[in-house]
Amino acid sequence: MRKDVHRVLLDREAIASRVTALGRAIADDLESTGGPSREIVLVPILTGSIVFVADLIRHLPQRLRIGVMSVSSYPGRSLESKSALIHGSLPDDLAGRHVLIVDDILDTGQTLALVRRIVLEHHAAQVRTCVLLRKSRPRVEEVDVDYVGFDIPDVFVVGYGLDYNDYYRNLPDLVTLRPEAMR
Ligand code: 5GP
Ligand code: MG
């Protein structure tokens, strides 16, 4: 796997300190705005956000629950994200809850916009969004993101949960791949 790496974009130490800061910001906001119920429901979008969300929740001292959603591009190689498909379902008692949708990366914006709409249909009291990475490129769908880990250039990245053809999720750093590895 190491030989497939072109460049380390963000190393594990940089990620860890940013995730700590994000967790604190989310926890502080919740303390100040949560009202009587400071409980939140985290909605991680599978599979890319698993590593991020595993680290993030350990910086959130509040009572929380997790309801995962699975949104995938149409089958095949996914260097570009295509129309999203939703799988699975949310907890059925989201009404009145504070929900935080968590994804690995904001690219075209379609995934986050779609999940946000679905959560809102469940009458959540408040829906916030958090992504580890935000690519600098035009969005197909505009979506407000409340918490962003890093702004990155428009390059394809893997590691820390993000994949290429389902591989490389276990790399601890966020990296770009050599072109030979993406054939
Ligand atoms: P969007 O719907 O915003 O276009 O796409 C978001 C999804 O596309 C992410 O959750 C991720 O699955 C995938 N994606 C977008 N850019 C990248 C990237 O650079 N690397 C990887 N591994 N996945 C990406
Ligand atoms: Mg994804």
CA 62 to chain CA centroid, Å, is 19
Query: What is the rounded CA–CA span in Å between residue 73 and residue 177?
Result: 20
Tell me the three state secondary structure of residue 12: helix
Q: What is the C-alpha end-to-end distance of the chain, expressed in Å?
A: 14
Q: Are strands 69-73 and 5-10 parallel, antiparallel or unpaired?
A: unpaired
Ligand 1 binding pocket mutation candidate from 73, 105, 148 (most atoms within 8 A of CB): 105
Tell how far the Cα of 35 is from the centroid of ligand 1, in angstroms. 34
Q: Is 166 a catalytic site residue? A: no
Domains of the chain: 12-29+38-154 (3.40.50.2020)
pLDDT band at 86 (very low <50, low <70, confident <90, very high): confident
pLDDT for the residue numbered 37:
60
pLDDT at 124 over 60: yes
Q: What is the mean pLDDT of residues 44-65?
A: 96
Rounded-to-integer distance, Cα 1 and Cα 41, Å: 35
Residue 173 is predicted with a pLDDT of: 98
Cβ(158)–Cβ(171) below 8 Å: yes
Q: For residue 78, what pLDDT is reported?
A: 47
Q: Rounded to two decimals, what is the model's pTM? A: 0.92
Residue 1 confidence (pLDDT) = 82
Average pLDDT over residues 29-37: 73
